[in-house]
Amino acid sequence: MNINVRVAIKNDMLEIFNLIKELAVFEKEPNEVIIIVEDLEIHGFGNDPKFHCFVADVDGKVKAMALFYMRFSTWKGPILHLEDLVVKQDMRGHGLGTLLLDEVVKHGKKLGVKRISWEVLDWNEPAIEFYEKKGADVKRDWDVVHLNEQGIKNYLSKL
């Protein structure tokens, strides 16, 4: 098995999209993915990319990815947000997640970020254990807050 961790290219977006859909199914939200491959191509490349991505390919096929972008913390300064770390179901346990997380952390260090943040579902114990073994502090006393597209419309309609 030949594993190569590298920066994603535009031609990887279909495989990355398939990983995103696989993750949505795993997280019991298969109908929540509304983006299409072209959205990844448009927003991940060009003069002002909205995200960056590392992939792990095995024997030339993308089997895992880590998608991330910059944020700013009012307490800490620049931080890196890891949106998704996904390993195909049949490749879990082969070290791909560790290799990708290693690359994200090294990248964050190179950028001089003060923190790397991400979310994990409270029922995903294997992922929580994985992150804690890596030294991450899983904040169990914080709730994630979202205002979805309809919520934005509703909010604005009340102004």
Contact 67, 84 (CB under 8 A): yes
Give me the catalytic one of 131, 146, 147, 154. Answer: 131
CA-to-CA dists, residue 88 to 28, 58, 82, 91, 131, angstroms: 16, 11, 17, 5, 18
131 catalytically annotated: yes
Q: Which residues are catalytic?
A: 131
